């Protein structure tokens, strides 16, 4: 197998950096540390039952519920730890925030502090881990305010509350049949596949583009009774297929690992929805803005797709808290724009319903 014609992640980052002669190299060093964290998590995931990492995090080991009120898996905790240990030492970070930590993580006193903030979901889709279905890690890199960089003070929640448009980089690792790293530094999206022989991420998917149209959508249909009208309308129209207003049949998919859904969409198009719904008034959506919606939104937009709350472009949402939840729609541009249109328009009088009523096409 010819290995030499592909760039490694390191080579790719060095070549990117040549475009910015003044760059310090801190950013590249951070991304390479994140990549090592992802490789370590990939190994832990790959050992499955043999590694002793499956199951819930025991209460006597420090609790089993995270700040979201969700059960923590052993691998959630381990992955969080891997991210911290691999990135805290190098002097590139001013602080971190993660799904698994209620408060911002302070870089310990023995290490220098830097100019970036790392925000991450160390293991996404972790309910799938015990059944050997793909999971992933998601990360976002922000610049810390100059004042924090200069003073080296402890970070506070407010330092992280930056809209998605401010992200310097975002990416995810997918632990599937192969381990992949997808990365944007604001100049398109590139995909790397982990070569298990070399232990290196190799550039296999340069400048990924999301097809603008699709006939595939992903949503957890068990929530349909809680959906708002525009989402109901969109899904009903897709389900009506060839004879409905869309004039074509659609497929549905639901893996319950957003990273895996996002990757499928990046590769062949599609739309993902975890919209705001009326299930629980305290939770405006299921997914979290800073370490799920924003990094995924940035990747989608950099690949020519789109990401939105349904009402607002995701990248322009001003965060109000570290673990804020939000409705999320992303994927093929034309579909996401259609969903946004449905949110903006008043509901049409002629809905899809007549198809299934006594006045429908199916009457005698």
CB of 66 to ligand AHG, least distance (A): 8
Q: Which two structure tokens, joined as six digits, stand for 245?
A: 């207003």
Of the candidates 23, 202, 241, 180, the one whose C-alpha atom is nearest the C-alpha of residue 116 is: 23
Strand ranges (E), 145-278: 169-175, 179-184, 189-195, 200-205, 216-219, 251-252, 271-274
- For residue 228, how many other CB atoms are within 10 A of its CB? 15
Among ligand AHG, Mn ion, none, what binds residue 237 when CB lies within 5 to 8 Å by partner kind?
none
User: With contacts defined by CB under 6 A, how many residues of the chain interact with ligand AHG?
Assistant: 13
Four-point Cα dihedral 106, 109, 114, 119, nearest 10:
-20
Which residues make Cβ contacts (< 8 Å) with residue 7, sequence separation at least 6? 15, 202, 203
CB of 121 to ligand AHG, least distance (A): 5
Q: Quick one: which of 124, 159, 335, 340 contacts Mn ion (CB under 5 A)?
A: 124
State the Cα–Cα distance between residues 291 and 293, nearest whole angstrom.
Answer: 6
CB 146 within 8 A of CB 303: no
Return the residues of window 206-225 that contact ligand AHG according to CB under 6 A: 220
The span of 116-124, 142-150, 167-175, 356-364 binding Mn ion (CB under 5 A) equals 116-124
Q: Quick one: what does residue 217 bind among ligand AHG, Mn ion, none, with the CB cut-off 5 to 8 Å set by partner type?
A: none
Mask 237-266, x = binds Mn ion (CB under 5 A)?
A: ------------------------------
Q: Quick one: which segment of 13-21, 50-58, 123-131, 175-183 binds ligand AHG (CB under 6 A)? A: 123-131
Using CB under 6 A, which of the segments 17-25, 118-126, 300-308, 316-324 binds ligand AHG?
Answer: 118-126
CB 53 within 8 A of CB 44: yes
Total binding residues toward Mn ion, as defined by CB under 5 A: 4
Structural tokens at position 273: 């929805």
| Residue 220 interaction partner, one of ligand AHG, Mn ion, none, beta carbon < 5-8 Å per kind | ligand AHG
C-beta of residue 100 within 8 angstroms of C-beta of residue 76:
yes
Among the listed residues 39, 41, 105, 121, the single contact to Mn ion using CB under 5 A: 121
The answer to whether 286 contacts ligand AHG (rule: CB under 6 A) is: yes
Q: For ligand AHG, which residue of 79, 162, 257, 308 counts as binding (CB under 6 A)?
A: 257
Binding site for ligand AHG (CB under 6 A): 70, 99, 121, 124-127, 220, 256-258, 274, 286
């Amino acid at each position: 197998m010819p290995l030499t014609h592909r760039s490694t992640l390191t080579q790719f980052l060095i070549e990117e950096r040549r475009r910015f002669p003044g760059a310090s190299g801190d950013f590249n060093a951070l991304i390479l540390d994140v990549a090592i964290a992802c490789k370590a998590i990939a190994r832990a995931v790959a050992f499955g039952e043999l590694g002793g990492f499956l199951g819930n995090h025991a209460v006597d080991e420090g609790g089993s519920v995270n700040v979201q009120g969700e059960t923590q898996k052993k691998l959630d905790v381990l992955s969080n730890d891997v991210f911290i240990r691999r990135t805290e030492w190098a002097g590139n970070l001013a602080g971190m925030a993660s799904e698994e930590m209620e408060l911002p993580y302070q870089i310990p006193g023995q290490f220098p502090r830097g100019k970036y903030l790392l925000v991450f979901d160390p293991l996404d889709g972790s309910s799938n881990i015990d059944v050997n279905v793909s999971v992933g890690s998601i990360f976002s890199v922000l610049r810390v305010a100059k004042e924090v960089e200069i003073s080296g003070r402890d970070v506070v929640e407010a330092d992280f509350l930056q809209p998605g448009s401010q992200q310097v980089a975002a990416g995810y690792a997918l632990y599937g049949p192969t381990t992949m790293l997808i990365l944007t530094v604001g100049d398109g999206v590139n995909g790397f596949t982990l070569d298990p022989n070399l232990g290196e991420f190799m550039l296999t998917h340069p400048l990924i583009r999301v097809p603008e149209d699709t006939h595939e959508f992903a949503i957890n249909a068990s929530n349909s009774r809680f959906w708002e009208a525009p989402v109901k309308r969109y899904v009903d129209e897709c389900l009506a297929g060839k004879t409905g207003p869309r004039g074509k049949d659609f497929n549905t998919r639901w893996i319950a690992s957003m990273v895996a859904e996002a990757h499928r969409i990046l590769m062949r198009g599609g739309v993902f929805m975890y919209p705001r719904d009326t299930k629980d008034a305290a939770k405006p959506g299921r997914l979290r803005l800073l370490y799920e919606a924003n990094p995924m939104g940035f990747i989608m937009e950099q690949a020519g797709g789109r990401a939105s709350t349904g009402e607002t472009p995701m990248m322009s949402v001003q965060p109000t808290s570290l673990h804020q939840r939000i409705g999320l729609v992303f994927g093929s541009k034309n579909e996401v724009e259609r969903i946004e249109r449905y949110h903006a328009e008043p509901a049409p009088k002629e809905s899809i319903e007549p198809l299934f009523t006594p006045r429908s096409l199916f009457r005698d």
